[in-house]
Each structure stands twice: as C-alpha cells, then as structure tokens.
Structure 1
Amino acid sequence: MITVPGGQVTLSDRRTERTWAVEVAAFHLAAYPLTRADYTEVTAAHSGSTQNGQDGARLPADSVSWWDAVRYCNALSRQEGLTPAYRLPDTADGADGADGSDGSDGGIAWDPSADGYRLPTEAEWEHACRAGTTGPRYGPLDDIAWYRGNSRERIHEVGGLRPNPWGLYDMLGNVWEWCWDLYDPQVYGSYRVLRGGGWFDEHWSCRASVRRRSHPTLRIEDVGLRLARSLQP
C-alpha cells in the first residue's frame, strides 16, 4: 500500500454544478485495484466475468457489488488480525449478514478509528488520483488508462500502464472503483459513488473529477474496488 499525504481537494458535480472543498488526512491506499486472485483467496468465491477466455489472477476483481466490497474489507481485516472498519448491525456476533437486498444501506456504520481495510472516501480517491496534479488526468490517457480507445473492449491486468506521481496504478480506466460515500441520498437514496472510469468507457469518463453512481447491489463487469486503510496514531 502507498501512504497518501494529506491535503485539500475540490470535488465537483456536473449535474448540480456544485463544487466543495474537502480536507483529506493522510491514509494508505493500495497501489493497484484489488485482483481476482486476492479476492478469491479471502472469499473463496469467483469474482470477475470471463472475457475472451480471460480469468487471470492479476486481472482486477470485477462484477463486485458495493456490499461485496464492504464484506471483503471486513473479511480480510479479520484474517489479518485487524479491527474491521465496518459494522453491519443486523448481526449480534460481528459476522456480516446484511446484503442490502431490500434497497437500503442496511444501517452499516464505519468506524474511522479501526485499523482494518476499507473503501476510500471519494475525496480521498480524487486526492490520491490527482497526486498533486491539477489537470483532468495525471498523464496522457493512452499511457495511464485502459479505456474504449485502447482496451480492445476487454479488461487488462493491473499495473500494465504508467502510474501516477505517487505510484498508484490504474486510478483511471480498467475498472470503476467503489467509494464509501452515498452519491446524493435525498435524490438517489442508497446509491454509492463510483470513480475512475472503466475499460469500456469513452475518454470523457476517464477523468479525475468524474462521478458515477449506482445501487450498492450492482454487479457488472467494469466495476471493482481498491483497498484503503486509515493511518493509526
């Protein structure tokens, strides 16, 4: 994992034409999107669509819902002896039983003091993606991202293109990445934020500022996740 320095990031939403500044504390973020091999090792479940015969271990874990991502974070934390970051309150024994199938967020709570794995907030994600740069991308798109223009309409192994200045790979393109945040609960209810763009997206979706939303139960072949951890005092 990469230690991302703290700083301020300005988020924007094209739909509402709103901008807002967020202070981001230093935190840890995985250098790569979570791979299928790592997902399967913890969950004993297949994660990823098979495209053109691809089922490689270093492909990003895709077809992962937000709920799958949260449960993976907790499972990996327990496996490594860390305190899970998320609490699903419908279970008394600490196991993760909720799945959001009723259309709600299940009353899930995040403990920011926990040392376990979690999803980044969208402010953390954009701050890390930009890595001190100010343009729409941290480099020429073909050099840094798999998108419709160069992906041959398929997913690619992580780390195959140039990282951003902080050593983070595939922040744009390949798979969209779930964030912790609700997108706009007053309008979209439990929909969660996705960032980064995917292998089937046009170039305008692969920018640091682009926000996408989806229901937390969505599983689709261009959506995955990237692990974060809070810095401990």
Structure 2
Amino acid sequence: MRPSSVAGDRLPVESVSWIDAIGFCNALSRREGFAPAYRVEGLAVEWDAAAAGYRLPTEAEWEHACRAGTSGPRYGELDDIAWYRDNSAGHAHEVGRKAPNSWGLYDMLGNTWDWCWDVYDAEVYGEYRVLRGGGWSDRHWSCRASVRRRSHPTFRIDDVGFRVARSE
C-alpha cells in the first residue's frame, strides 16, 4: 500500500513518518536477503551498524551525497535542480524531471524533505529527527545543502519523504 497523499509511479513517496521509513528499510532488507539494519520496539529504534540492510542515511551522509563534491549552497541553479514554492505549483513532481547532481542523484534539494537517521537535538527536542533537502512548499532559502529541519518521528506530511542507504 502506497502511503503517499497523491498517486503516481514516478512521484516521490511522501506523507511517511520516520518510523514508517524505518519499517520500509527493514522490509526491503528482508525482501532482498539482507540483515535488517534496525531493531524496533514501538518507537524505540536501535541501529545495528554491522548489518548490511537498508537504512536511512545519517545527516552527514545525506549532505555529502547532496553536495556531490561541490562546496556551495546548491549543486546548480535552483530552478534547474529543484521543485520549491516558486516553481512547484503547490505539489510534488515526478522524480528526475530536474537536473541531477554530479553523482546522478535527483531531487536532493526540493520536491520532498528527506528523513535522516539522526536525532535533531535530544536535550532540547527529545526524539525529534532530522529532515534535509527542502520541499515543494518551501521558499528558496530552505533548498540548500546545509539546511536542517526537525520533526517528531511519528509525524506525516505531504512534503516529507525519505531515501535509503546501505553500508557494505
């Protein structure tokens, strides 16, 4: 069952919580014969870094992948690489319709925010998790490689999705 608020095979999966994304990573790992990366008990999640299964990227991994060897705030001109408030017409768009970064990764900025593994700031926000990348409803300044957002791990909204990573 697709959790997204809009239907379409080429649209990013969105409206998923961090917990949903963790569950997907474990299910995909099992389906492909890998040891799941996470042990889950309710909202308590433990990452087994030695497991070969799919997982959410760390915040540092996400930023490294987004920048793809560049050092500026973006890997290209914003209108060429991202769907954001000024060009999205108020909705998510098919993946791959904008230019990829130099490593061939599409929509690292704009379209949907991506959940990361990391806790945002446990002392201030408790279990809130990190989101990166900016989304279709955000202003231009939110679509930068360094911008962070936070949310509760059970929160779902139509401009938040995720990417998967795998360690070997």
Q: Does 1:47 align with 2:3?
A: yes
Q: 2:100 is matched by which residue type in structure 1?
A: P
Q: Does 1:111 align with 2:71?
A: no
Query: Whole-Å Cα distance in 1 between the matches of residues 96 and 52 of structure 2?
Result: 26
Q: Does 1:224 align with 2:161?
A: yes
Residue-by-residue CA offset, 1:58-110 (whole Å, 9 max, x unaligned) = 1000000000000000001001111000012x4xxxxxxx2x3xxxxx2x111
Q: 1:147 is matched by which residue type in structure 2?
A: Y
Match of 2:127 in 1: 190
Say which SS state the counterpart of residue 83 (structure 2) adopts.
Answer: coil
Q: Does 1:68 align with 2:20?
A: yes
Q: 1:222 is matched by which residue type in structure 2?
A: D
For structure 1, which runs of at least 5 residues remain unmatched after alignment? 1-44, 91-97, 101-105
Task: Give runs of aligned pairs for residues 132-151 of structure 1, distance below 5 A.
Answer: 132-151=69-88
Structure with the greater alpha carbon radius of gyration: 1
Task: Give runs of aligned pairs for residues 139-218 of structure 1, distance below 5 A.
Answer: 139-218=76-155
Q: TM-score, structure 1 length as denominator?
A: 0.71
Residue-by-residue CA offset, 1:150-176 (whole Å, 9 max, x unaligned) = 111111011111000111100000000
Q: 2:3 is matched by which residue type in structure 1?
A: S
Superposed CA RMSD: 0.7
Match of 1:103 in 2: none
Q: 1:62 is matched by which residue type in structure 2?
A: E
Query: Whole-Å Cα distance in 2 between the matches of residues 116 and 192 of structure 1?
Result: 20
Query: Whole-Å Cα distance in 2 between the matches of residues 132 and 81 of structure 1?
Result: 32
Q: 1:86 is matched by which residue type in structure 2?
A: Y
Q: Residue 46 of structure 1: CA displacement?
A: 2.5
Aligned-pair identity in percent equals 70
For structure 2, which runs of at least 5 residues remain unmatched after alignment? none
